A and B are shown apart, each in its own frame.
Chain A
Amino acid sequence: MKKLIAIVICLALTPFGAFAAEGETLETLKVKAVASSVDLLAMEQGMETLMENLEAVQDKEEDIVAAYEAYQTYERLHRAGAGLIPDPNPLLDPLDPLNPTPEQIAMKQAYLKLQAMFFNLFGIQTPSLNDEEIYDNFIYPVDVLPNKLMDQYASLRIDKDRVTSMLEGGVEALWWNMGSLDTQKRLIEEYVSLLQVQLGAEAARFQVGKISELQLEAKRLDLDIAMRDQVRLDRESENLDYRMRSLAGLEFNEPFSVKLLPVTETNGGLKTYEAFLTESLRTRADAIRALRQVFTIRQEIGVMEDIIEDDDHPRRKAIRMDLLRAEEAYEATVRSVDAQLYAAYDATLTKQEALLNARSSYDISVLDLNRVKALHSVGYVADVDLIGAEMGQKQSLLALESSIYQYNLAYQTLIRTVRYGSGTGGMTQ
């Protein structure tokens, strides 16, 4: 077993020229993620298999149609009494009225041939198939099964598109996170250096008895925590890198780098809730699939009604039940789309408001810093207070960056919910 694993590991580690992964852009990573997805490959193969099965069903279609026509002839001949026509008596003249006519003989021969054929196929001596057996053997494989296979194929194609979009959405979310973390890392670095300067000043104030030991210790703890945050961001950044490489199907030892752009706010205002809901019901795979299911069953009911005429037949009752369930499932899907969308829309609006607040706070901190700088330049404010104002401004900037990131994330989640449903791709906060 270990040998086998070793072989597979070697295979997995073999570098592919097509996967050189330096200077990656968002688009190249999306392409790689799609190309290396096992789920997508399974779906593609499932589609190929379904297509082969459909072809096999279509190949048999002519034979089944011919068999049904033969069965109808068999029924007609049986009703005409072909099975009761006596064999010709060789002792009598062929034109003797007691002997069957040549037409009757031909009818009997045809009847016997069909009898042998259907005995081989279904083990019946007379055309005694009931409506249900006729439906299952002649109608269902020709009029319903190909449609069902086509439906499954279409459903898989929808799934494939959905998974593709989810993968692309996942790459995009990671990309955003990488950009945002990059900015946060830069800002926290500046914040830590300011804290270090401030700690020096606080130590001096402690020496001259202006602050207590506890206050100095609290400041030291602030610095420790900020430095740990700095290391935590490095680790998070490393993890994002790993997640991106894993999603893009890159080998661990392959060199990897990305061309990140600074994080900017997602452009464009929010559409109305009603507009999003309409778009969602038109594009989401679960809604489309649920609706298709209703149509497929309705089509099958139409075909079945022509053959099984008894309205109370168990099959008719069962398929009516299936239709009810499918309709109920569609309605549940619509309700679920509505609920998920409402939550995502509400979250986006909340983050938008938080972003506005963070921006206002940042603007105030900038004004404050400018005021302190002016006062510092004429000797009215101490160095330590200037550092405090600079730190305040850095903190506001960090909060603003974080709000932009949170808003972008909420907006992306909203768009993903509109297109694919909640819980697809990206990261949760």
Chain B
Amino acid sequence: MIKRILPLTILVLLLSVSGAFALETMTLDQVVERVQTQNSQLALLEEELRYTAWLEDEARDTAEDLEDLVESSYGDKWLPQARLVYVEPLKMEFELNSLERQKVTLKKTLESDAVNAYLGLINAKEALLQAKYDLLVAEKDELAKKLMLDMGRIAKIDYDKAYIALQQQSRVVASYERTIELNYIKLNALMERTASDRYEVVKPILDVSLPKIESFDMAVVHYKENSDKILDQVEALRVAEENYDIADEIADNETTIIQAERAMNLESFRTIAMLRSADYDFRIAYNDLVSKYDAVLTAFGRYGLSVKGYEIAKIKYERGMSTPVEFLNAASDNESARRAWQTSLNDFFSARTAFIVNFSIEEATDDVIKL
């Protein structure tokens, strides 16, 4: 009995902890913190903010200098100067507002990217583990088929199939190893670390909870008042209105006024369409998120069933009622179910983060289910 249990069980255990060398460990929180403080995009945005603030000052100074000249002038030829006085400072102010908003959004987006990359890396590591199980099964199957071929119990073609399956599985392992490398590179790029840096990642405890939304109407209004793209659009409308006012007052060419009015109407139409669409976009995204939440529950149910199946296969194997290949197959199936559950959990977590970022949700608390 001990002879039967030891080799495979130890192998399964070894596979589960393989790669656990004494490397630096980085938790998800540490990764997010580092990304939010070290990422070069943020530094660039800070620089852009300073530059735009300076440009805004310059625009205001120019506007003050030209104000008297423009006030007493009439005709299309004065439009560029009038725009410098009335439109340019407004545009620069809006540009500055937009950059401030982008900074907040960038921090949230970086958090979301970091979470995705971190979970992606964990997924790839788990996928490698699964592929190693399958490789082990393929190796054992190939050995068994070789013996059977030598004994004349199977045809050469059946052995060849097992041999090819083994080769294919080796390539699958190599491909997951590459995926892990790529995920490290992606995560390192976000954290501004060198591409070759390696560290251990710790599987975070992910809570399965939907963002708490007391009232959809209020949440949509909040989204409309805080969404970057909607605020940018409202400001674009404001600039178009200012352009039209100037053209109406100064231009002597009817076409110039008509074109300015046309541009203003288009921006107005665009703003209304965007606000209308916000009602739908919010609810569609929330429904999609709830479906991902349900997928987690389904995958968890399947995993629960699979654990029981695995336990039965283990007992059968330990009592000599099944072959090592059958036991490894059951272990692999169980790992598949666990990975499917883990993937659905990661998907949900990423989607929830994206939902919170995209729809300006302030908090994400509800009855938390720990799975």
Q: Do A and B come from one complex?
A: yes
Query: Within 8 Å CB of A92, what residues of B?
Result: none
Partner of A5, one of B224, B276, B287, B305: B224
Give the shortest distance, in Å, between A287 (CB) and chain B (any CB). Answer: 29
> Provided the pairs A12-B272, A42-B266, A56-B255 are in contact, do residues A245 and B305 lie with their beta carbons within 8 angstroms?
no
User: Would A214 and B287 be within 8 Å (CB), given that A36-B273, A49-B259, A252-B279 are in contact?
Assistant: no
Compute how far the CA of A49 lies from the CA of B265 in the bound complex, rounded to whole angstroms: 14
Q: Would you give the shortest CB distance from B278 to chain A, in whole angstroms?
A: 9
Contact (A221, B276) CB under 8 Å given A45-B266, A214-B309, A239-B288:
no
B297 nearest CB across to chain A (Å): 7
B316: CB under 8 A from chain A? no
User: In angstroms, how far is the closest chain A Cβ from the Cβ of B257?
Assistant: 12
Give bound CA distance, A243 to B281, whole Å.
Answer: 8
A242 near B283: Cβ-Cβ < 8 Å = yes
Q: By the criterion CB–CB under 8 Å, are A243 and B305 in contact?
A: no
Cβ contact within 8 Å between A245 and B262: no
The 8 A CB mask of B204-220 against A (1 = contact, 0 = none) is: 00000000000000000
If A5-B230, A11-B272 touch, whether A242 touches B298 (CB-CB below 8 Å) is no
Do residues B276 and A251 form an inter-chain contact, with CB atoms below 8 A?
yes
Q: Which B residues lie within 8 Å of A214 (CB)?
A: 305, 308-309, 312
Which one of B265, B280, B308 contacts A242 once the chains associate, using CB atoms below 8 Å?
B280
Are B270 and A38 in contact (CB-based, < 8 A)? yes
Q: Does A62 contact B (CB under 8 A)?
A: no
A121 — which chain B residues lie within 8 A by C-beta? none
Q: Is B294 part of the contact surface with A, judged by Cβ < 8 Å? A: yes
Please tell me if the beta carbons of B297 and A249 are within 8 angstroms of each other in the complex: no
Query: Residue B231 at the A interface, CB < 8 A?
Result: yes
Query: A195-254: which have CB < 8 Å to B?
Result: 214, 217-218, 221, 224-225, 228, 231-232, 235-236, 238-239, 242-243, 245-246, 249, 251-252
Question: Chain B's nearest CB lies how many Å from the CB of A425?
Answer: 17
User: Smallest distance from the beta carbon of A51 to chain B beta carbons, Å?
Assistant: 11
Count of chain A residues near B, Cβ 8 A: 37
The verdict on A84 contacting chain B, using a C-beta distance below 8 Å, is no
A-B contact count (CB 8 A): 91
With A38-B270, A49-B262, A235-B291 known to touch, is A252 a contact of B280 (CB < 8 Å)? yes
The 8 Å CB contact of B271, one of A1, A8, A235, A249, is: A8
Q: Return the contact of A12 from the options B263, B276, B291 (Cβ within 8 A).
A: B276
- Within 8 Å of chain B (Cβ to Cβ): is A41? yes
Residues B234 and A8 in contact, CB atoms below 8 Å apart? yes
| Chain A proximity of B247: nearest CB distance (Å) | 14
Decide if A79 is an interface residue (CB 8 Å cutoff). no
Is B287 touching A239 in the complex (CB atoms < 8 A)? yes
| CB <8 Å contact, B271 and A221 | no
Provide the residues of chain B in CB contact with A56, threshold 8 Å: 255
Interface residues of A in 1-30 (CB under 8 A from B): 1-2, 4-5, 8-9, 11-12
Residue of B whose beta carbon sits closest to that of A244: B280
For the complex, what is the distance from the CA of A246 to the CA of B290, rounded to whole Å? 21
For the complex, is B57 an interface residue (Cβ under 8 Å from A)? Answer: no
State whether A1 touches B231 (Cβ < 8 A): yes
Chain A, residues 22-60, CB within 8 Å of chain B (1/0): the string is: 000000000000001010011001001100100010000
A215 CB to closest chain B CB (Å) equals 10
How distant is the Cα of A246 from the Cα of B276 in the complex, in angstroms? Answer: 7
The answer for the CA separation of A242 and B278 in the assembled complex, in Å, is 11
Interface positions of B from 291 to 321, Cβ below 8 Å from A: 291, 294, 297-298, 301-302, 305, 308-309, 312
B interface residue numbers (CB < 8 A to A): 221, 224-225, 230-231, 234, 237-238, 255, 258-259, 262-263, 265-266, 268-273, 275-277, 279-281, 283-284, 287-288, 290-291, 294, 297-298, 301-302, 305, 308-309, 312
Interface residues in chain A, defined as those with a beta carbon under 8 Å from any beta carbon in chain B: 1-2, 4-5, 8-9, 11-12, 36, 38, 41-42, 45, 48-49, 52, 56, 214, 217-218, 221, 224-225, 228, 231-232, 235-236, 238-239, 242-243, 245-246, 249, 251-252
What are 29 A-B residue pairs whose CB atoms fall within 8 Å in the complex? A1-B234, A4-B234, A5-B225, A8-B268, A8-B272, A9-B221, A11-B272, A12-B275, A12-B276, A36-B273, A41-B269, A42-B270, A45-B262, A45-B263, A45-B265, A49-B259, A56-B255, A214-B309, A221-B302, A225-B298, A231-B294, A232-B291, A235-B287, A238-B287, A239-B288, A246-B276, A249-B273, A252-B276, A252-B280
Other A-B pairs beyond A45-B262, A228-B298, 9, CB < 8 Å: A5-B224, A5-B230, A12-B275, A41-B269, A48-B262, A49-B262, A238-B287, A246-B276, A252-B279
